[in-house]
Amino acid sequence: MRLVVVGAAGRMGRMLIRAIDQAEGCRLVAAVERPGAASIGEDAGLLAGLPPLGVAMTDDAPAAFAAADGVLDFTAPDATVAFADLAAQARILHVVGTTGLEPAHLARLAAAATHTPIIRSGNMSLGVNLLAALVRKVAATLGTDWDIEIVEMHHRMKVDAPSGTAVLLGEAAAEGRAVDLAQQRVAGRDGITGARAPGMIGFAALRGGTVVGDHKVIFAGAGERLELAHVAEDRSLFAQGAVKAALWGRGRAPGLYSMADVLGLDTL
Ligand SMILES: NC(=O)C1=CN([C@@H]2O[C@H](COP(=O)(O)OP(=O)(O)OC[C@H]3O[C@@H](n4cnc5c(N)ncnc54)[C@H](OP(=O)(O)O)[C@@H]3O)[C@@H](O)[C@H]2O)C=CC1
Ligand SMILES: O=C(O)C1=N[C@H](C(=O)O)C[C@H](O)C1
């Protein structure tokens, strides 16, 4: 499978180049960065800490997409919707790991997915997607007298909050309770907030150092607490998940897919 990495000089971009290099059944055919980026023209393998791959970093995304079967995209929301339009025009698979997407971005992705398959997840790891399935079950089992709070911590360079994973876990909790997360979420408490309203799903985001990604879902009841947690120790696992998603998505019908689809967890 011929794969393009966009945002190839980023933290995840470099991991994706390495994951493609190690995986069977796929190869890197292009590595894209924004026009004017310092990395343009450099060898993508060298940039990722590998021997040269003979793939020069480019800013020509349309040409790259025209000669590929899929694109791996861990960039930024506005870039991702622009890449979604290009992937739809080229009819190639789009794997989206970008987080911080607003409803307008999600609507653009849904439109692009009528032309080509898109696999999107706020977290590409097996552990987090299994955790989401567990959270859905626990939330469905416990009543709203159990408060749900989601705590996450990431490295100091992360630009969005709450994390895409925290939102994914919140959505799983809301699904379990058969409620709409948008109506129930509360984030960033500060000052005289008043008492906690029943049924809300709370988010707290911590930032510091080099933390790859810690998530905890707390179910707090009267006199007891249930805590489910995931710790990501190395971001290579997200890249490996994205490559797995690409191989799974090859030849699929147009539509929006999740990592739960890829991992076969949607029946849990
Ligand atoms: N779903 C998952 O499993 C995971 C998701 N993520 C998410 O992936 C995203 C990227 O994270 P990370 O790699 O740490 O961030 P980085 O900032 O290190 O990398 C993003 C890269 O994308 C580039 N980029 C941005 N806009 C464009 C554009 N229009 N054209 C080409 N390249 C562009 C950036 O370039 P420049 O620096 O010039 O802006 C940068 O090189 C985030 O949203 C993060 O939350 C991260 C890990 C796992
Ligand atoms: O920006 C990151 O680093 C990460 N982003 C994703 C998120 O927002 O949840 C996934 C992972 O936690 C790392």
- Could you tell me the residue ranges of all domains in the chain? 2-120+235-263, 126-232
Q: Is the CA virtual torsion 95, 91, 9, 159 positive or negative?
A: negative
- pLDDT, tens digit (0-9, with 9 covering 90-100), for 86-123: 999 999 999 999 999 999 999 999 999 999 999 999 99
Nearest ligand (C-alpha, residue 37) = 1
- 12 CA from centroid of ligand 2 (Å): 10
Choosing among 3.40.50.300, 3.40.50.2300, 3.50.50.60, 3.40.50.720, the CATH entry for 2-120+235-263 is 3.40.50.720
- pTM higher than the cut 0.90: yes
241 confidence band (pLDDT: 50, 70, 90): very high
Q: Average pLDDT for residues 157-169, to the nearest whole number?
A: 98
Task: Give the annotated binding-site residues.
Answer: 7-12, 33-34, 97-99, 121-124, 155, 164-165
**Closest C-alpha to ligand 2, atom 12:** 213
On the 0-12 / 13-18 / 19+ scale of CB atoms within 10 A, 173 is: buried
**Closest C-alpha to ligand 2, atom 11:** 213
Task: Give the annotated binding-site residues for (S)-2,3,4,5-tetrahydrodipicolinate.
Answer: 155, 164-165
Nearest ligand (C-alpha, residue 5) = 1
Residues with beta carbon inside 6 Å of ligand 2? 99, 122-123, 154, 158, 163-165, 213, 232
| Nearest Cα to Cα of residue 158 among 93, 77, 212 | 212
CATH number 3.20.20.70 given to 126-232 = no
Residue percentage of the chain with pLDDT more than 90: 98
Catalytic residue numbers, as ranges? 154, 158
- pLDDT, tens digit (0-9, with 9 covering 90-100), for 16-40: 999 999 999 999 999 999 999 999 9
Check whether 2 has a pLDDT greater than 90.
yes
| 56 three-class SS | strand
Token look-up 């971005």 returns 105
